[in-house]
């Protein structure tokens, strides 16, 4: 069985390719369709007279989290931590979990869920990886992240893993629909990373099997999560006390800004739920000039409301891709936030990120030694490819007629399965 696994920051997907027809099938996940949310939920559950920690993943984790009356911990965006050597373990409900174990637990649940629709997998798979991992500052950091991924997938039963760049995988998917040769640029916008590749694809390249000509790759640890962070910063943080003051020894001081920087990132938010942080915030609330705002922040953290906040932000971002303005709304017990936001405002907030993406594209073309007119098509994939300001970067540079898309959330998994098929034929 030729298996491709797109292990994503926000969503994951698994596909298999048929050797005879080169057709691709996607795993179907109960209650979630063709993508599996890359999340874990740990909760204290009763088992007779005992209390144990139960763990769920994907759509089941979200369901348990939203319905649970027990103490729990919701964890997401694990992929964004892979390159961070300082994160070795975390305490969850009184138990210490090595970071690699958390990734392995997610990989195991992903595999089990996919096998229920595709059948039992073997030990071999092609797994996607970004060109640059989030937080990576060197090739050694990327290698460290890959080693962690390899260990996790070995624990999930895949002890024969080949890693492929995600934009190269997306190119395999795009190529499967071609009846002519092309030079293409692939831009893959994930939750945590933006990756580019330039390749020659088409019938002539398919005849070469495993020997595709990848002309250049480039990437940065910035994408959809960074856009989400700006929405939190401008629409949420101030109502939760950012820039507000508290009294200390006769002086007025500002509430620590680092709390709100962590609030902006989904994969940091769950790690704010520590005894020390909660106690600090409760002490600050006593002396705060706007205690109600600090109380809402405490509620957000204590009640693990990061997922609900994430959904509100995602909904707003999606609506701004379709309309010039929308209403951001986030409501939970003890918290109510409603604000109008325009696409123009949002695009102003993410101007720096857009510039960084453009700069990465410049580096790619310096590396490859081609000009824009040498590119036949630009294939955009991933959730943030729908953001109008992102699309304009490519439309202005290459022209609207060269922009292509499709299967934005599953193209990488499909391409990885096709890549696995070629590698299998090469080995055999």
Q: Is 159 part of any domain?
A: yes
CA distance 207 to 190: 30
| pLDDT tens-place string over residues 221-242 | 988 889 999 999 999 999 999 9
pLDDT tens, position by position, 314-351: 999 999 999 999 999 999 888 999 999 999 999 999 99
pLDDT of residue 184: 97
- The predicted structure's pLDDT at residue 205: 84
Residue 142 in any domain: the answer is yes
368-407 residue pLDDT tens: 999 999 999 999 999 899 999 999 999 999 999 999 999 9
Distance (Å, rounded) from C-alpha 213 to C-alpha 303?
A: 50
Backbone angles phi, psi at 336, to 5 degrees: -145, 115
What is the reported pLDDT for 402? 97
pLDDT exceeds 70 at position 209: no
Tell me the whole-structure pTM to 2 decimals: 0.88
Q: Is residue 421 part of a domain?
A: yes
In a domain, 145, yes or no: yes
Q: Is residue 393, in this structure, part of any structural domain at all?
A: no
Pairwise pLDDT comparison (53 vs 3), residue with the higher score? 3
pLDDT of residue 66: 85
pLDDT of residue 326: 97
Q: What is the DSSP string of 251-274?
A: EEEEPPTHHHHHHT-HHHHGGG-S
Report the pLDDT averaged over residues 240-248.
93
Contacts of 122 (CB under 8 A, 6+ apart): 1, 3
Specify the CATH number for the domain of residue 15. 3.30.420.40
Q: Which of 26-35, 288-297, 389-398 has the lowest mean pLDDT?
A: 26-35
Q: Name the residue range of residue 57's domain.
A: 2-179+406-427
Range of weakest confidence among 170-174, 220-224, 279-283: 220-224
Is the model's pLDDT at 265 over the cut of 90? no
Band of residue 428 on the pLDDT scale cut at 50, 70, 90? very low
Angle separating helix axes 99-118 and 139-155, nearest 10 degrees: 50
Q: How many domains does the chain have?
A: 1
Q: Can you give the length of the chain in residues?
A: 428
Tell me what the pLDDT averaged over the chain comes to.
Answer: 91
Q: Is residue 8's pLDDT more than 60?
A: yes
Residue 14 in any domain: the answer is yes
- Domain contains 27: yes
Q: Domain for residue 379, yes or no?
A: no
Mean pLDDT of 20-27: 92
């Amino acid at each position: 069985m030729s298996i491709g696994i797109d292990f994503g920051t926000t969503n994951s997907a698994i596909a298999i390719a048929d050797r005879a027809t080169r057709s691709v099938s996607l795993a179907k996940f109960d209650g979630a369709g063709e993508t599996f949310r890359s999340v874990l939920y740990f909760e204290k559950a009763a088992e007779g007279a005992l209390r144990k920690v139960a763990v769920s993943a994907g759509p089941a984790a979200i369901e348990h989290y939203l319905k649970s009356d027990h103490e729990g911990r919701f964890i997401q965006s694990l992929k964004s931590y892979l390159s961070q050597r300082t994160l070795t373990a975390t305490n969850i409900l009184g138990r210490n979990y090595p970071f690699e174990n958390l990734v392995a637990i997610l990989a195991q649940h992903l595999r089990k869920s996919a096998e229920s629709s595709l059948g039992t997998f073997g030990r071999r798979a092609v797994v996607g990886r970004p060109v640059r991992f989030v937080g990576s500052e060197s090739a050694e950091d990327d290698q460290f992240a890959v080693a962690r991924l390899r260990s996790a997938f070995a624990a999930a039963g895949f002890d024969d893993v080949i890693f492929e760049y995600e934009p190269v995988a997306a190119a395999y998917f795009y190529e499967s629909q071609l009846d002519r040769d092309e030079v293409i640029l692939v831009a893959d916008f994930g939750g945590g990373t933006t990756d580019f590749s330039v390749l020659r694809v088409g019938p002539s390249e398919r005849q070469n099997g495993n020997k595709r000509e990848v002309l250049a790759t480039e990437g940065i640890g910035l994408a959809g999560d960074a856009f989400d962070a700006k929405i939190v910063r401008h629409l949420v943080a101030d109502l939760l006390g950012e820039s507000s003051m508290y009294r200390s020894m006769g002086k007025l001081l500002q509430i620590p800004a680092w709390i709100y920087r962590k609030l902006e990132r989904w994969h940091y938010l769950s790690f704010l739920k520590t005894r020390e942080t909660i106690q600090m915030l409760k002490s600050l609330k006593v002396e705060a000039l706007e205690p109600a705002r600090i109380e809402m922040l405490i509620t957000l953290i204590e009640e693990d409301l990061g997922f609900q906040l994430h959904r509100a932000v995602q909904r707003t971002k999606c609506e701004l891709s379709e309309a010039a303005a929308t209403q951001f709304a986030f409501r939970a017990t003890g918290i109510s936030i409603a604000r109008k936001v325009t696409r123009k405002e949002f695009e102003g907030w993410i101007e720096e990120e857009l510039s960084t993406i453009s700069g990465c594209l410049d580096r790619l073309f310096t590396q490859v030694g081609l000009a824009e007119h040498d590119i036949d098509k630009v294939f955009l994939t991933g959730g943030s490819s729908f953001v109008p300001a992102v699309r304009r970067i490519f439309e202005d540079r290459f022209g609207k007629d060269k922009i292509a898309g499709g299967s934005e959330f599953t193209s990488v998994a499909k391409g990885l399965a096709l890549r696995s098929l070629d590698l299998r034929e090469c080995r055999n």
